[in-house]
Structure 1
Amino acid sequence: MAEAAGVSLATVDRVLNTRPGVRKATIEKVRQAVESLNYQPDVFAAGLAKKSAYRLHFLIPNGPNAFMEDLTREAKAHAVSMSGARMQVHVEPIDAFDGHRVTGTLAILDKSVCDGVAVVAPAFPEVRAAIDRLQDRGVPVVTLVSDHPVSERQHFVGIDNMAAGRTAGRLLGRFLPKHPAKIGLIAGSLGLRDHADRFAGLREVIETEYPHLQLLKVREGRDDNERNEDLIRKLLAEHPDLAGVYNIGAGNRGAISALTESGRAKDIVFVGHELTPYTRQALQSEIMDAVIAQDPGHEIRSAIRILKALCDGVPIIDDQERIGIDIFLKDNLPTEA
């Protein structure tokens, strides 16, 4: 990196660790070298001498949600792999639809048991208050996947869900015919910030750019496969002219089952979220038309890096922690691991 920037190793060290005494032009040279080499600093090495261990708690929803299962699996894998780097990662299952229980879990945490918390935070006022109280007790909190921006949380780790919803609107608008048509909507709950933001983004695009498309009332299935299967069956029965479906949250397996059973799957444009074994198969069989996805591994790694940076009082590298939005069709599915 020093060679690429045309500076000394000592100068690179000062820039990467935000130490004074470096000219702006030199800082810019080092930053350009960082970008060109795709350098990712070891955020763990600097803190090893500062404390015996970093105790991080991840509060992740349980239940039959394939994406949250992936998120939990990634967190548990990092708990094992990072034990040698003095990282203790504990995963606590929560019910994201029960604000009082999430509040209770946050209430029992303090600096005696953890150094940082990442939580998939439902948008209930009691959860906001619990996050604020935990911050007041000296424990840094980041929200994960679903944000709570009015809280005192220090960072959000996840995609821009408004942009994800606008993306869904654009896909539906382009895939559906130019004449009037109906789109059925399913969410886990609009009480979840990520679901509410996706719906707002979708509505913005459809109403302004595809006004011939009618958005039906959002039906909430709590990300449950059986409930979503029942909701899709009812949508199909009540709207024989249904042209599109957007599943804002999880529970795709149930929606896929109902559409397959109906025999109308290939006549309906279906857009959903997260690449799982079920959505992958649905794309391959043309039951789903597009999947908007985020990388759970990146999100867990990012949350760990950010919490450690907050514990150490060092800057967060925003470009490294930006979570991208992926769009998968039948034609660009990644190779299965």
Structure 2
Amino acid sequence: MRRPTIPDLALAANVSVATVNRVLSGAPNVRLATREKVQRAAEEIGFYGLGSIHARVAAARPRLRFGILLLQPHRPLYQSIARAMEAAAAQTVGAEVDLRVEFLEDLSPQNTANRALALANDCRAIGIVSAAHPTVTEALSQIQAQGVAVFSLIAPLPTTGQMSYIGLDNWKLGRTGAWAFAHLCRVPGKIGMLVGNPRFRNQEISEASFRSYFREYAPEFTLLEPLSTFESADVAQDITETLLASNPDMVGLYVNGGGVTGAIAALHSTGFAGKVVVVGHDLTAVTRAALLDGSMSMIMSHPLDRIARDTIDGMVRACSTPGSNQSSIVPFEIYTRENL
């Protein structure tokens, strides 16, 4: 077979030979979309100058630095989010993205605000997972006033300006969790609830919708007061053990926030694993094992690849259209032991 020529590439890309020559030479008067179109055609036909085209396209793309600020690095969920963000940045076609991912070990509002301000100093856009607090809100408003786009990830945040949100519809999340208990529990009874931190608005919204479902459709159940784990597995284990000891007739447990690892450990240590319906969030190695051994009944999970892709793409668009809202509400995934 003969080697593809420049006219062959022009035909495959549906452009002129002159346009292909301008792409190969790195001429400035070619739109990025056209360069990428020629690149895709070159990949398809095996054009000999593909390396040069890749270099020319990369050089023509805008170079953007983005920052992502996540919660504690020891939590598998946030490590998974970090990997998904890095993969999405590497696959972005509209820009060359330099991504900085940082983690918050100290979740205090002042530390969160300071780290966000520092990250925004040399980034065009930042994404942040944070509890809602006036100190954090003030810092993010200051960042927006500097022209840096801010994206709240997983948990929506209030600010005086417009902020894009990438995450789930938490009202639907809570009501779906409640629906699961109403249909999976063999008899009505007490349902306990663990929340990570009431200042995380996603948890607050899902708790409210969880309660609203029971008021509307299943009033025969008794909802116990929510207990805060403060996003700690150790705290979650302690309060779950106490909760089960105080309510041995409990029929369900909703883990709405951080600490699910500790809650699962408590179920096993008290002998309640598999005896109560347990619903929680996010598929990790630990929650997957809990589904398989029957200590959890259902997981509602963030689609991390989709969230990462929408975040990076939204940041790229926000840089080209300052002040635009790039919010994306993504559908959550539902897992049981039968569909793993």
After TM superposition, is the score higher than 0.5?
A: yes
Q: Which residue matches 1:69?
A: 79
Matched, 1:55 2:65: yes
Q: What does 1:1-337 correspond to in 2, within 5 Å? A: 49=60, 51=62, 53-78=63-88, 85-95=95-105, 97-110=107-120, 113-179=122-188, 181-313=189-321, 321-333=328-340
Rg comparison, structure with higher value: 2
Q: 1:221 to 1:202 in 2, by over 3 A?
A: same
RMSD: 2.7
Task: After TM superposition, give the deviation of residue 101 of structure 1 in Å.
Answer: 0.8
Q: TM-score, normalised by structure 1?
A: 0.78
1: CA distance, partners of 2:133 / 2:256: 19
Secondary structure (helix, strand or coil) at the match of 2:226 reads strand
Secondary structure (helix, strand or coil) at the match of 1:292 reads strand
Task: After TM superposition, give the deviation of residue 49 of structure 1 in Å.
Answer: 3.9
Task: After TM superposition, give the deviation of residue 208 of structure 1 in Å.
Answer: 1.9
Deviations 1:307-332 (A, max 9, x none): 110101187787xx441111111111
Secondary structure (helix, strand or coil) at the match of 2:156 reads coil
Task: After TM superposition, give the deviation of residue 223 of structure 1 in Å.
Answer: 2.1
Secondary structure (helix, strand or coil) at the match of 2:274 reads helix
Task: After TM superposition, give the deviation of residue 265 of structure 1 in Å.
Answer: 1.7
Secondary structure (helix, strand or coil) at the match of 1:173 reads helix
Runs of 4+ in 1 over 6 A off after TM superposition: 45-48, 314-318
Secondary structure (helix, strand or coil) at the match of 1:288 reads coil
2: CA distance, partners of 1:96 / 1:283: 31
2: CA distance, partners of 1:147 / 1:83: 27
Q: 1:126 to 1:316 in 2, by over 3 A?
A: closer
Contact 1:146 1:194 in 2 (8 A): yes
Task: After TM superposition, give the deviation of residue 172 of structure 1 in Å.
Answer: 0.8
Q: 1:245 to 1:139 in 2, by over 3 A?
A: same
Letter in 1 for 2:81: L
The share of aligned pairs that are identical, in percent, is 26
Which ranges of structure 1 fall in alignment gaps of 5 or more residues? Answer: 1-8, 11-44
Contact 1:55 1:115 in 2 (8 A): yes
Equivalenced residue count is 287
Contact 1:82 1:88 in 2 (8 A): no
Contact 1:65 1:224 in 2 (8 A): no
Q: 1:47 to 1:262 in 2, by over 3 A?
A: same
Letter in 2 for 1:298: R
2: CA distance, partners of 1:290 / 1:48: 47
Q: 1:135 to 1:295 in 2, by over 3 A?
A: same
Which ranges of structure 2 fall in alignment gaps of 5 or more residues? Answer: 1-13, 16-55
Task: After TM superposition, give the deviation of residue 202 of structure 1 in Å.
Answer: 0.6
Q: 1:316 to 1:189 in 2, by over 3 A?
A: closer
2: CA distance, partners of 1:198 / 1:95: 25
2: CA distance, partners of 1:298 / 1:80: 14
Task: After TM superposition, give the deviation of residue 229 of structure 1 in Å.
Answer: 1.0
Letter in 2 for 1:67: L
Q: Which residue matches 1:22?
A: none
Q: 1:127 to 1:119 in 2, by over 3 A?
A: same
Letter in 2 for 1:237: A
2: CA distance, partners of 1:118 / 1:183: 34
Task: After TM superposition, give the deviation of residue 162 of structure 1 in Å.
Answer: 1.4
Letter in 2 for 1:54: L
Contact 2:61 2:94 in 1 (8 A): no
Secondary structure (helix, strand or coil) at the match of 1:89 reads strand
Contact 2:94 2:316 in 1 (8 A): no
Q: TM-score, normalised by structure 2?
A: 0.77
